Chain A
Amino acid sequence: MVFKPFPKDEGLLSVYNGEKFDVESAYTHYTELQKLASAGVVGVSVSECKAESLNVIDDNDPFDGHSSIDFKDLPAKEILKKAKMLKAKAQLRGWLYIR
């Protein structure tokens, strides 16, 4: 599921900071610089994360413009529910960029 952190993420879901990347450059950075596969770009706002009691950290690590949505220390079921809420909000917005 797109908004659920994987175990390797240790509770921090990597996202692109919309103030430093537009959607196309985020996609290009992910697929061409990081050489990772992607079907497209969806997004949520900081306020939508906060509404779910999720902090957004502009850590700029490992690159400038990298942010993390903090799911740390939440029980698995809470992570699942919050991820579904974020997904529902992103779906309302629709695809921001498609390959």
Chain B
Amino acid sequence: MSSEKEIHILFTPRFVGERFDDHGIPLSILSELSILEDITLLIAKDLYLKGNVDRKRVLKNFDQGITFELKSIEKGSVIPTIVLVCAMNGLFPVENSVFFKDAGNKLISTIEKASLGLDISNEIPRSAMAQFSKFGKGLRQDEFIEFDQNLPHKAKFDLRTRINLVSAAGESEFSANTKIRGFVSEMNKAKKTFNIESISGAIYTLSYSEDQKQEVHEAFSEYENKSKILVEGTGKVDSSGKLISIEEVDKLTLLDDLDVQFRLDELSLLKDGWLEGNGISPSDDGLSWISESFDKYFHPNLDLPYIYPTPDGNIQAEWEMKNWSVTLDVQLNNKIGYYHAFETISSKEIERDINLSTESGWSELNILLGSLDFE
């Protein structure tokens, strides 16, 4: 075998979503790219066996001389280039490299079919499809990957495609990055486990590491005072997205009493008729939007508001600052907030309609609230 190598571009997946607009990939997602190597290897072996029906198994050194490398990250939104590096055997690349190149194409055509909801049961081995229970878990709801710009549907890999692939493998559960807010209702120091009681009332038993012990203990000892905690980790969800279990805890965060996301999660449980038989429940999309926007744009040095639902299916945020009584009535459908600050001693008032669909609108809100300290 010579030191010459053949380089073949295997995948140029385009990551689409706000997080990728700055042409970077979060490391957690980058690490998932290695799963593509495992999948491609499984498909290549399958193609080899289909092309060599007299063989029961692949050769022992099937992938010798073949490596996968991340070559570069191109702009727009973000396109990592994954190449197959094949050692040369004389003038030609190692014999089996053809199966890996075909496997790459097969994988892309299977994703295209899965994205269209077509039958993929005979496209690639089940073991390869099952790997998608791990690949893509870091993608958010509104993010996706386009594996091939030249295909009609661009081999679009999103949550739906992932579900189709995993389901075709006969799997009913798959991994997903999970955030869950709740209370620590039990702690078992001997087993190093704790129970988290979610806002919806579901209880999950999780393991904690030594460096997470303090947060668990603190939340547990303040359970009666409803001390809130956020668990981030990897969970198992079913095809409807419902969380079944939490496999691994990456991060624990004790939350403020007025944590906005926690409160909005609570409001998501409201049903129509919540107000003495009247009262429309806020929409899930609206709550997701305001939750993400608050997290992203609300200045961390400002006091958190109390948040209430309004009978017309919207929300109201309230702040009490010195003698100022401040309300922000947010229309979830058009993302307009009516800001009203009233000074109860002098009757001075400040009001604004704020467009909360823009970053500048949130800046205006931050400035208005911040300036009340100096009024």
Interface residues of A (CB under 8 A from B): 1, 6-8, 36, 77, 80-81, 84-85, 87-88, 91
Contacts and interface: CB of A to CB of B under 8 A. Distances in A.
Contacts of A87: 325
Nearest to A34: B276
B263 to A, nearest CB: 14
Contacts, number: 33
Given A85-B344, A88-B344, A1 B308 contact: yes
B340 A80 contact: yes
A7 B280 CA distance: 12
Tell me if A's interface is mostly helix, strand, loop or mixed. Answer: helix
Given A77-B351, A81-B342, 13 more contacts: A1-B316, A1-B327, A6-B275, A7-B312, A8-B311, A36-B276, A77-B340, A80-B340, A80-B342, A81-B347, A84-B325, A85-B344, A87-B325
Nearest to B344: A88
A17 B312 CA distance: 29
Interface in B300-337: 308, 311-312, 316, 318, 320, 323, 325, 327
Contact of B276 (A1, A8, A77, A80): A8
B250 interface: no
B276 A84 contact: no
B174 to A, nearest CB: 38
Nearest to A84: B325
A87 B278 CA distance: 24
B349 interface: yes
Nearest to A87: B325
9 contacts: A1-B308, A1-B327, A6-B278, A6-B311, A8-B278, A36-B276, A77-B340, A84-B327, A84-B344
Chain B interface size, under 10 / 10 to 19 / 20 to 34 / 35 or more: 10 to 19
A1 B318 contact: yes
A7 B275 CA distance: 11
B327 A80 contact: yes
A88 B325 CA distance: 8
Interface in B336-358: 340, 342, 344, 347, 349, 351
Contacts of A88: 323, 325, 344
A1 B306 CA distance: 10
A1 B329 CA distance: 11
Contacts of A8: 275-276, 278, 311
Contacts of B351: 77
B323 A7 contact: no
Contacts of B275: 6, 8
A80 B347 CA distance: 12
B324 to A, nearest CB: 9
Nearest to A82: B342
Contacts of A91: 320
A8 B351 CA distance: 25
A81 B316 contact: no
B342 to A, nearest CB: 5
Q: Which of B312, B323, B344 has the most chain A CB atoms inside 10 A of its CB?
A: B344
B353 to A, nearest CB: 13
B349 A81 contact: yes
Interface in B171-208: none
A66 to B, nearest CB: 14
A85 B324 CA distance: 10
A7 B278 CA distance: 10
Interface in B275-313: 275-276, 278, 308, 311-312
